[in-house]
Amino acid sequence: MRLVKQAMMLFSIALIVGVAFVGGYAQETSIPEEAVESAGELALTYIDSAATYLGQGVVYILNLITGDRVSTDLEKPVGYLGLITGLLLVFGVIEFARKIIWIGIIIGWALLIIRIVLDAFRV
């Protein structure tokens, strides 16, 4: 009985591989060169989109507070600072890198707050 089960399993695997192999030959299509993107480009596009959406959300909340005085030009900087801040909170285990990242975060947020204040007062 055990031999029959092993033979059926082997036959099933061979059948699945055979169907996949024949199906691959039956569907020969060509993909245009400009449609093919590398994994790096896709990752950078994802990060940029995430930063844009995060920035849009933060700027929307700031505009609710300040009465539409914050410029939409700040969406990407706020988004990237938010992503970096999130990464710092998640992966903040290496002491030396964490100090350097904190310095960059503090400078970035300080410059961003200055820009928001200047936009709010229309200076």
Q: If you write DSSP's letter for every residue of 16-79 in order, what string do you get?
A: HHHHHHHHHHH------GGG---HHHHHHHHHHHHHHHHHHHHHHHHHHHHTS-S-GGGHHHHH
Question: If residue 108 lies in a helix (H) or strand (E), which one and from where to where?
Answer: helix 95-120
Cα separations in angstroms, 104 against 15, 28, 77, 81, 84: 58, 51, 13, 9, 10
The pLDDT of residue 51 is 93
Could you tell me how far CA 18 lies from the centroid of its own chain? 38
The pLDDT of residue 109 is 94
CA atoms within 13 A on the CB side of 57: 10
The pLDDT of residue 92 is 65
Cα separations in angstroms, 65 against 26, 58, 59, 120, 123: 59, 11, 10, 11, 19
Q: pLDDT for 32-86, tens place per residue?
A: 555 557 888 888 999 999 999 999 999 999 999 988 888 889 899 999 999 998 8
Q: Is the pTM of this model over 0.75?
A: no
Token pair, residue 121, equals: 């007062």
